[in-house]
Structures are given as C-alpha cells and as structure tokens.
Structure 1
Amino acid sequence: MPALDLLEHRLEVPLVHAALSSEAAHDGRTLTVFAREVRRRGDGADRPALLFLQGGPGGESPRPGVLPANPPWLARALEDFRVILLDQRGTGLSTPVGAPPVGRSAVELAQDLTHYRADAIVEDAELLREHLGVEQWSLLGQSFGGFCSLSYLSAHPERVAEAFIAGGLPPVAMPVDEIYAATYEQMAVLSHRHYRDYPGDRDRLLAALDLCDAGELTLPGGEPLTAQTLRSIGGQLGTTGGSEALHYLLERDPRSPAFRYGVASLLPFDGASPLYTLVHEACYADGGVTGWSSDRVPPTAFAEDRSLLLGEHPGRWVFAERTDLRPWAKTAELLAAHDWPRLYDAEVLARTHTPCSAAIYVDDPFVLEAHSRATAQLLPGMRTWVTNEWLHNGLRLSGGVVLDRLISLVRDR
C-alpha cells in the first residue's frame, strides 16, 4: 500500500431531492453528506475519480488504512484512480439515522425514511460530483452499492465513465416477492451444503433452538435469544469463509458466554444500523408495496425444518424480538405499506453504452445469479464474470483480485 493523502468533504444536500419528489418544494430540510477522498501520495491528485458505493443499505464507507490495508482492494484502485469513499445518507459521518428522535411521530419518521433508497443516494452523489468539479467519474458498487450504481446509470448515465459492480447487479422490474422467494431457496441450498460439510452441526443447532424455546439462552445484554433470531445467523453462509465461522460457533456450548457473544457478533439486524433493517425490503423494490415480503414468502420447508437458516430476511419478527429495534416498529409498519416508486429505467439502461463489468457470484443468496444475469442482458456495455471462486464478500476478501478482474473486463474489451 502506498502512502496516502486523505481529504475530507462535507456538503449540505436536501432531504428531499427535487428530481425525485414534488415534496421538495415544501420541504427545506437538509442533511450533511460526508466523503473522504483517498489519493496516492505524490501522483494521485491528477488521477480520475472512482466513487465507491458501499453495501448495505445503512453501511458506512470503509475507513482507509495502510497497515493492514483497508479496504483490501484500495491499493489496486489507487493504481488507476483517486478514490472517493462516500458515507451514504444516514451513515457514518453523514447525518446519521440512529435512535428515533424524540418528538417525531412514526408517520413523520416513515415519510423521512422514504428518501433513503438508492435514488436519493445517487442525487447526493451528483451534488458531491459537482462539488468536486468532476465532469465524469467511475463507479465501484459493492452489493447494495451495485443497486446504487444501476440507479445512477438510469438517472445520470452521462456522468458515469465506467462502472464496476461486485455482487450487486439487482433485478429490474421484478416483484419483490419473487426476489425474496428466490433468496430463501438459495439459503436452503447453502444450509444443506453446510450440513453436508459439517454433519454434526444440524443436531447442534437444533439443540440450541430447543434451548431458545425453553428460554434458557440470552444475548450479552440479557435479551432473550429466540429461535428465529438464532436462525438469522445464516447470512454467514453467503460469505466466503462464513460456513467455517458458523461451524466454529456451533461447536461451542450454547450456554457459554463465548456462544452468546459469538451469536451477537453474527446477527444481521440491530440498533447500531437501523437503516439496514428499516429499508431493506424497500431497496429491493423496483416499484410497489413490499408488505413484509420476507414474512409472506418463505417456502413451507422453512417451517418444517428449523435447521434451514435465514439470510437477509427482516420481517416483523425483528422489530418484535430485538429490543433495540422495537422503538422503530410502527415506522417499519408504515414503510412496509408504502407504495415505492421505480428505481431503474430499463429503456434508459438499454440505450446506455457506458462500459460496465460485474462479478456475479454463483452461490450468492443475497443477489441471485439468475437475477444478475438477466439484468446484465439489459446493458449493451456490460461484461460479466460469473464465478464460484468467491461469495458475496469477494471484493473485500480477495484483496485486489476481484477489482482487477473487473477493471480488466472493461479496459480489455
């Protein structure tokens, strides 16, 4: 990793962008958006800009470091670019979404949170681009950041020089129920694969679930560990190395502090980043009402076989069982009933010849291979790398390997 120069950028952006809503004319509230620019010392200032769009929703951008290299792909990126690490609205040093503000009703909070999807993040990024004096920039989208990248290509394709997408080429115009049903099916595949590799883990998990039902297990703060919450650690199966991590947790005594704290570290939904849970379904929704899709569409096998683990499935139960998310329950109900606008314009995408590349992970349970392949067909400038070498965290875990492959696909076409 070379020596780095870091520059901080802060700007005020409207909560409601005029390009997205007529509410903007009546709502003058603003948010702070923060971004950190990372340059290679000595010769980095003149390099073209690469905007990194973080996974999530609700995830802050990585904090750059040299030893160890963070993010691990940064050194490869700095060979070609200066990197703009954006804290998307509601995260990091941008105006955060934390605990529900005192004095705001659930209706008011839900209305505000309708402005925290990919389309609003793209409009924030456009103001940041103008602030930096950049005519065009490249995009690197990880997971949900890929959703943002596709929204960018729909709304402002002329501002994107090239786009690199890792594990995040979302379905376009697909009903949200169809999306979540497919994620359950893939989680079942990965659960069975895990038990094939670690045959004793099924019985270990079932025994722990029985202890949950008996009220004998808790999380570190004393909150009851329910069976549904324990099953939600299955998201680990969607990451390279996650199956092993899950096995090493399940081999511990479920009554032990090590198990208790280990489970807490793997849970996907908590009050530290409520945005992730609150707008997760909405960020998959390319129009329409989500209506607690992940509660409504699980295959019957998930009720019949409790050893099938859950991935990113934030239903009503999360707001009932997790004490730090309970204050958001009424707001979540309103968001689930909201009629969301479209995020992507297939006609614009079909006319967009921006050079793009995407890593599509064969076994990804969060952004399905089949869905990503279908979306790739919409983009004339898209080249794909379909691989089973990595799972959803391939960009980070591979160091610069995945990013280098994505850059090569675009440059060597």
Structure 2
Amino acid sequence: MNSAIHHTGPVNVMRGVRSTSHRFRVPLDHGDPTGEQISLFAREYSSTDHSDAEAARLPWLLFLQGGPGVRGNRTTQLSGWMKAAARDFRILMLDQRGTGFSTPADPLTLPQRGTAVEQAGYLRHFRADSIVADAEVMRAALGSAPWTVFGQSFGGFCTLSYLSFAPEGMDRAIITGGLAPLAGPVERVYRSTFKRVAKRNAEYFGRYPQDRTAVTHIMRHLDRVEEVLPTGERLTPQRFQMVGSFLGGNTRVDALHYLLEDAFVGAYDGDRLSPVFLDQLQSVVSRRSNPLYALLHESIYCQGQASSWAAWRVLEEFPDFAPDAADPLLTGEMVYPWYFDEDPSLVPLQETAELIAAADDWGPLYDVPRLAANAVPAAAAVYSDDIYVDRDLSLETAASVRGLQVWETADFHHDGIHDDGDAIFSRLLAMTHTG
C-alpha cells in the first residue's frame, strides 16, 4: 500500500458539530507511487455529544459523494443522515480527487496540463478505482481499522469498486441510489434511464399541467428570440431542457414548478425571459463548478469499451426528447457533446472530451468473481422510480453481490437521503448488522 503525507488542521466547533480538516499527499497514479503526487482534502465531523476523547475513539465512516466531480458536503450542523451517523461514528467527508480543496481539475487548471492528449491522459486517473486507492491510503494514514463506507449515487459506484478491489479495508458498506451495472454496453444504461425520465415527465406534467404549456412556450420562444444567460452566451432550447435534472428529486421536482413560474416577465404571453429566471437557470445549465461531471460522466460505465457519446446516440431512439417535438420532454443527467460547444466553461475542453469519449481501453471497475464471494456486510437502498440509476439494473447488480441486502422503496427518488436521511441511513445500518 502506498503511504501518504498527512496533515491535520485545527478543530472548529459550531452548532453541536466538531470539524477537523485533513490533507493528504497521494500518487496521481497509484500504479506509480514514486511519480507525480496530488493533494486530497477531507473534513472530519463528529458530534459534540461526545467528548473530544470519546470522539477520538469512535470508528470512522467514509462518505463518498455523488458525481463524478462533486466535492464533499459542507455542513454547519448535524442533520439527516449525518446526525444519525454521528451517534456511532466520526464521519470523514472526502473531496474526491479533482474537487473542492483537493488538487483541482477544472477549466483553469486542466489547460496547464498541456495538450488535449495530455489532459485526457491525466483524467484517466480520476475514476472509481483511483478513488478507492486514495481511500485506502487515507485509512492507513489515519490509523483506522477497516471502516464503514457509505456511498450515495456515484459514491455507491465507488463503494462497489471498493468491495471489488480492497474489501479488506471495509467493515461494512452502505449504498443509496448507487448500484451500478457491472458490465456494458453503456447504451443499455441510457435506454433504461430515458424511459424512466419520460415517465417522470408525464408524472410531473400530470401534477402541474400548466407547466406543460410553460415548457413548450419557453422552448418555442428560444427558437425565435435570442435570450442570453448571465455568462453571456445564448440560451438554446436543448440547453434549457437540462432543467429536467430537477425531476430526480422528491422535493426538487416541486422547485422546478417555481422556477418555471418565474420564466417570463408578466404572464406566459410575455415576450422576454425574466432576469430572475435566467439567473436561477444559470446554475442549473452550467458545468463551470464541476466540469469533471461532463468530462467523465459516461466513462464511469466504461470497461474495455468507448462510450462514444452513448447518451447522445441513444437519444435518437426517443424522439419525444427532441427540441423540435410537439411538446418536448425535459432531459435528465445525461451528457451530450454539444455541452462543449455551448457552455463557455467547457469550450476549452472540447478536444479533451472527444478523446475521453473515444477511449476504448478503460480498465476494469469491478471484480465480478470477488463480488460474488463478498464477505463484507452490505446493504443498499434501491429507489423504484430513480431516473438516474435504473431500478432493474440495480437489482441485477445486487443479485451479483454475495450477501448484499436490498431495501427497495418507491417512497423516495434519487435524493432520498436529503428527504429523510436519518431514517434511511439508520435502516440500512441495521441491515448490515443483521445480514
């Protein structure tokens, strides 16, 4: 195992939570431990219900965030799943490589790597297998026994990789909305999720029928009138469709209604989009703060094959999503090549994105025989109507992991832990004790 340089920051206390920062130096390429090093940042959270000495004796829980390319959560008080976890654990909230306070990979730093070929080569080290290797180096540096790993969404994908490559470092595994398919082709992911997104559109417009009119009106307006986002570029109909990301949540779906309510100055027969609407939309349709999501999203499914913009190709099979459809549907989390034409923060990375999409020599992300012999207690929440991680593919994966207990529920969508994290986490934790 590679060793890490580890530095601990000061302890801060606020609203019942104690936080401590940790910094580590790890190899960019864990296959070359003497090569380039990068920095990792993680923040430790514990409850002040425990004394300092008691907290230091608690076992660790590593939380792996969704993404890819999304930093760990920042919190000023313990609530939801973190409040539940802090009863028995100290939580390590990781900024996965390339995000947050870890060595960044963004529109400012990636061009410094050199050519597009060099950038794409660098980014090959930012998938789940590298994140797992990072975690094991950090665990050793912290002097931790095998720890509990909790993965949400893409973090669940990473947890499956952890069970594949370093199960000896895990005491138990908890996964929410993150049972990845263990094998390709990539296209089947999007054939499944486009169907679920279409169903979710129908459910949403059934709840808010006036929004069906609003969405079509905005799309047609954008065909005719040049509307400019705060970052200066024209808002296109296909980019507006990205607001479908709201459909993946229990409460965010209702926030979409309020977003659309602000669309036009005056009534829906107005002739310009409002500044309030455009300001809100900017954060939804830009990848400026998490370019790794756009660059690496499809690669998280790739093992020995190219993605070749799989979602874009599969989209042709679902004409109701076409911007020129009679009543266009909103899209989900899928990434398309035109992102790198229309989002100013991604334009400089266009050639890099094409190289990543064309790469067909990705290494394995899972060890299927090892998962079939798994001995780590594991439990997963599968959301029946999840538009991001398909229920059927999730159950297929669950059946391939020995001892993995599944709780399937239709009460939550992909962001269930944001709605009732305490109950969900507590239930899954108990399942790992009784399995």
* TM range, smaller chain: over 0.9
1:44 partner letter: A
* Counterpart residue number, 1:387: 409
Conservation of the 8 A alpha-carbon contact between 2:157 and 2:179: yes
Conservation of the 8 A alpha-carbon contact between 2:179 and 2:394: yes
Question: Structure 2: how far apart are the matches of 1:158 and 1:103?
Answer: 35
| 1:49-198 matches, cutoff 5 A | 49-66=60-77, 69=78, 72-99=80-107, 100-102=110-112, 104-198=114-208
* Counterpart residue number, 1:329: 350
Deviation digits for residues 166-216 of structure 1 (CA, Å, limit 9, x no counterpart): 111111113101111211111111111111111121121111111211233
* Counterpart residue number, 2:19: 6
Q: Relative to 1, partners in 2 of residues 1:3 and 1:332: Cα closer, same or farther, differing over 3 Å?
A: same
* Counterpart residue number, 1:364: 386
1:301 aligns with 2:320: yes
1:243 is displaced (CA, Å) by 2.1
Question: Structure 2: how far apart are the matches of 1:2 and 1:385?
Answer: 33
Deviation digits for residues 31-85 of structure 1 (CA, Å, limit 9, x no counterpart): 001111222330221111110001110111111322xx36x32110011111111
Q: What value does the CA root-mean-square deviation take over the aligned residues?
A: 1.6
Conservation of the 8 A alpha-carbon contact between 2:113 and 2:119: no
Question: Structure 1: how far apart are the matches of 2:153 and 2:113?
Answer: 34
* Counterpart residue number, 2:276: 258
* Counterpart residue number, 1:354: 376
Q: Relative to 1, partners in 2 of residues 1:305 and 1:123: Cα closer, same or farther, differing over 3 Å?
A: farther
1:364 partner letter: D
2:282 partner letter: A
* Counterpart residue number, 1:35: 42
2:300 partner letter: C
* Counterpart residue number, 2:268: none
Determine helix, strand or coil for the equivalent of 1:151. Answer: helix
1:356 is displaced (CA, Å) by 0.6
Question: Structure 1: how far apart are the matches of 2:251 and 2:304?
Answer: 34
1:306 is displaced (CA, Å) by 4.8
Q: Normalising to structure 2: TM-score of the pair?
A: 0.89
1:185 partner letter: K
Question: Structure 2: how far apart are the matches of 1:56 and 1:211?
Answer: 32
2:66 partner letter: G
Q: Which residue of the other structure, out of 305, 321, 338, is the alignment partner of 1:317?
A: 338
Question: Structure 1: how far apart are the matches of 2:304 and 2:391?
Answer: 21
* Counterpart residue number, 1:374: 396
1:103 is displaced (CA, Å) by 6.4
Deviation digits for residues 259-292 of structure 1 (CA, Å, limit 9, x no counterpart): 112222333x411111111000001224311001
Conservation of the 8 A alpha-carbon contact between 2:320 and 2:328: no
Determine helix, strand or coil for the equivalent of 1:364. Answer: coil
Conservation of the 8 A alpha-carbon contact between 1:173 and 1:287: no
| Identical amino acids, percent of aligned pairs | 41
Deviation digits for residues 96-148 of structure 1 (CA, Å, limit 9, x no counterpart): 11223346111100000011000100001110011011120010001000000
Question: Structure 2: how far apart are the matches of 1:2 and 1:77?
Answer: 16
Question: Structure 1: how far apart are the matches of 2:126 and 2:301?
Answer: 13
Moved beyond 3 Å, runs of 4+:
none
Determine helix, strand or coil for the equivalent of 2:174. Answer: strand
1:9 is displaced (CA, Å) by 1.6
Determine helix, strand or coil for the equivalent of 1:383. Answer: strand
Question: Structure 1: how far apart are the matches of 2:262 and 2:71?
Answer: 32
2:398 partner letter: A
Question: Structure 1: how far apart are the matches of 2:15 and 2:275?
Answer: 41
1:2 is displaced (CA, Å) by 7.4
1:154 is displaced (CA, Å) by 0.2
Q: Normalising to structure 1: TM-score of the pair?
A: 0.94
Question: Structure 1: how far apart are the matches of 2:398 and 2:100?
Answer: 31
Question: Structure 1: how far apart are the matches of 2:113 and 2:174?
Answer: 42
1:412 is displaced (CA, Å) by 3.2
